Chain A
Amino acid sequence: MKPNWRSITGSRILDLLTLFVVFAFLFPYLFMVSSAFKSRLETFAYPPVFLQFTPTLEHFDNIFSDMNILFYMKNSTIIAVCSTLLTILIAIPATYSFARFRFRNKEGIAYGFLFLQMVPGISIVFALFFIARALDLFDTHIFLIFVYLLWNVPYAIWMMRGFVEGIPVELEESAMVDGASRFKAFRLITLPLMAGGVAATAILIFIGVWNEFSLAFFLTSTNARTMPTTIAFFMTHSGIKWGPMFATATIGTLPVVVFALLVRRYFISALTFGAVKG
Chain B
Amino acid sequence: MSRPLSDPVKDAPKIAPMTVDRKFQRRRPQWLAPALLIMPAFVVVFAIAAYSAFSLFQLSTVDLTFGEPFRNAEAVGLENYQWLLTNEHSTFGAALRVTAIYLLGTLIPELLLGFAIALLLNRKMRGNSLFTAVLIIPIVLMPSMVGLIGRLYFHYDGLVNYFFELLTGIRHNWYGKDLALLAVILVDVWEWTPFFILILLAGLQTLPVEPFEAARVDGASRWQSFSLITLPLMLPLILTTLILRFMDVLRLFDVIFVMFAGGPGTSTTTLPLYVYRTTLVQRDVGRGSAASIMLIIIIVTLTVILIKVRERIKFEA
B159 CB-CB contact with A under 8 Å: yes
Collect the chain B residues with CB atoms within 8 Å of residue A44's CB. Answer: 157
- Residues A17 and B16 in contact, CB atoms below 8 Å apart: no
| A interface SS class | helix
Q: Is B202 among interface residues, defined by CB-CB distance under 8 A? A: yes
Q: Chain B residues with Cβ under 8 A from A211's Cβ?
A: 140-144
Say which size band chain B's interface belongs to: 35 or more
Contacts of B9 in A (CB 8 A): 176, 182
Surface stretch bound by B, among A55-63, A109-117, A191-199: A109-117
Looking at A97, A98, A146, A273, the one whose CB has the most chain B CB atoms below 10 A away is A97
Q: Which one of A22, A103, A109, A231 lies within 8 Å of B31 (CB-CB)? A: A103
Closest residue on chain A to residue B145 by CB atoms: A249
Inter-subunit contact A120/B140 (CB<8 Å): no
> CB distance A264 to B295 under 8 Å?
no
Please report the C-alpha to C-alpha distance between residue A102 and residue B275 in the assembled complex, in whole angstroms.
41
A120-B137 contact in complex given A91-B41, A172-B8, A231-B148, C-beta closer than 8 Å: no
- Is the CB–CB distance between A228 and B288 below 8 Å? no
CB distance from B42 to the nearest CB of A (A): 7
Residues of B within 8 A of A70 (CB): none
State how many angstroms separate the Cβ of B196 from the closest Cβ of chain A. 10
Q: Mark B214-240, 1 if CB is under 8 A from A, else 0.
A: 000000000000000000000001001
B149 A268 Cβ-Cβ under 8 A: no
| Additional A-B contact list (19), CB under 8 Å, known A15-B125, A46-B157 | A11-B123, A32-B145, A94-B41, A94-B42, A97-B34, A103-B30, A123-B272, A126-B280, A127-B292, A169-B6, A176-B9, A177-B15, A177-B16, A179-B19, A231-B147, A240-B148, A249-B148, A260-B136, A271-B244
Chain A positions near chain B (C-beta within 8 angstroms)? 11, 14-15, 17-18, 21-22, 25-26, 28-29, 31-32, 43-44, 46-48, 90-91, 93-94, 96-98, 101-104, 109, 113, 115-116, 118-124, 126-128, 130-131, 134, 146-147, 149-150, 153-154, 157, 169, 172-173, 176-179, 181-182, 185, 207, 210-211, 213-214, 227-229, 231, 234, 240, 242, 245-246, 248-249, 252-253, 256-257, 259-261, 264, 267-268, 271-273, 275-278
Minimum-distance CB pairs A-B, first 10: A120-B251, A94-B41, A123-B292, A97-B37, A101-B34, A213-B254, A249-B145, A127-B56, A93-B37, A46-B157
